[in-house]
Structures are given as C-alpha cells and as structure tokens.
C-alpha cells in the first residue's frame, strides 16, 4: 500500500482599506512561497514525459502573474481619486438624464464647476 503525504495550508489576507494590499499579498505569496516550492520540490511531473517542460511552463506563468500583480499595485498607487460631484449630479444615470439636466442653467454651472475641480486634480 502506497501512502501519499500531502500538505494543506490555510491563510488569511487582511485587506483593510487599501485595495493594493490584496495585490501585494497575493504577489508576495506567489513569489515567496509557491514559485520556490514548485521550483525545488520534486513532483510527479519530474517522472512523466514532458513533465519538466510543463513545470517550467507553470513556473513561468506564476512568475508572470506575480509580475502583473506588482505592476498593478504600482498603477493603483498612481491613481487619482476625483472629488465628489456637486449635489444633484448623482441622480444623472444616463444620456437622457444628462440631456434633461443640461437644459437647466444651474445644472450646467454645477457640471462646469465639477469638471474644473477634476481638471485641477488631474
């Protein structure tokens, strides 16, 4: 009788208020745990035809995905959060609502003020 030992890991990623934390955590998990584990630990792939090639392909994919997560985190840090729009603009949901709202001079001025604030932020 062949007894196969398998390892099971459980983890918790606390994201908090910063969405980049999830990206950073998953990227580090891949880079520091899964990639090294797949790289150095023997597996059934080592004994099968084309298995080493499949493992190398898996490693390349894991590294590439970890790199994409790192780049995505960098992009998130550079984002600009636009200021809230003026009161009344939240009710505009589509083109018809916008056309109706822009027939009123006070709504046009509210849109102009909001856009000017956004342009200064950018």
Question: CA Rg, the chain, in Å?
Answer: 25
Are residues 25 and 67 both part of a single domain? yes
Residues 24 and 73 both lie in one domain: yes
Q: How high is the pLDDT of residue 66?
A: 93
Residues 61 and 107 in one domain: no
| CA distance to 14, 25, 27, 29, 71, per residue, from 11 (Å) | 10, 11, 14, 10, 24
Q: Which of 100, 58, 64, 73 is nearest to 18 (CA)?
A: 73
For helices 51-77 and 20-29, the axis angle rounded to 10 degrees is 160
Q: Residue 25: which domain range?
A: 20-77
* pLDDT tens for each residue of 79-98: 778 888 877 777 788 889 88
Alpha carbon 122 to its chain's center: 22
In a domain, 24, yes or no: yes
- Supply the DSSP symbol for 33: I
Confidence label for 12 from pLDDT (cuts 50, 70 and 90) = confident
pLDDT digits (tens, 9 = 90+) for 41-52: 777 767 777 888
Is the pTM value of this prediction over 0.85? no
For the cut 80, the answer to whether the pLDDT of residue 21 exceeds it is yes
In a domain, 50, yes or no: yes
Residues 28 and 72 in one domain: yes
What total of structural domains would you count in the chain?
2
Asked whether residue 30 falls in the same domain as residue 64, the answer is: yes
Instruction: Indicate whether 31 and 51 sit together in one domain.
Output: yes
Asked if residue 109 and residue 71 are part of one domain, the reply reads: no
With tokens 């983890």, the residue in question is 11
14 is a domain residue: no
**Residue range 24-69, pLDDT digits in tens:** 888 998 999 889 988 887 777 677 778 888 888 989 999 999 999 9
Length of the chain: 122
pLDDT at 69: 92
């Amino acid at each position: 009788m062949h007894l196969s030992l398998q390892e099971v890991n459980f983890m918790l990623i606390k994201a908090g208020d910063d969405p980049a934390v999830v990206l950073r955590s998953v990227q580090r998990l891949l880079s520091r745990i899964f990639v090294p584990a797949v790289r150095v630990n023997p597996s059934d792939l080592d004994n099968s035809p084309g298995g080493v090639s499949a493992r190398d392909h898996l490693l390349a994919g894991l590294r590439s995905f970890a790199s994409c997560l790192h780049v995505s985190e960098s992009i998130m840090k550079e984002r600009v959060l636009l200021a809230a729009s003026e009161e009344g603009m939240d009710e505009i949901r589509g083109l018809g609502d916008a056309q109706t709202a822009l027939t009123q001079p006070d709504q046009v001025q509210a849109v102009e003020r909001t856009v000017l604030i956004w342009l200064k932020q950018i």
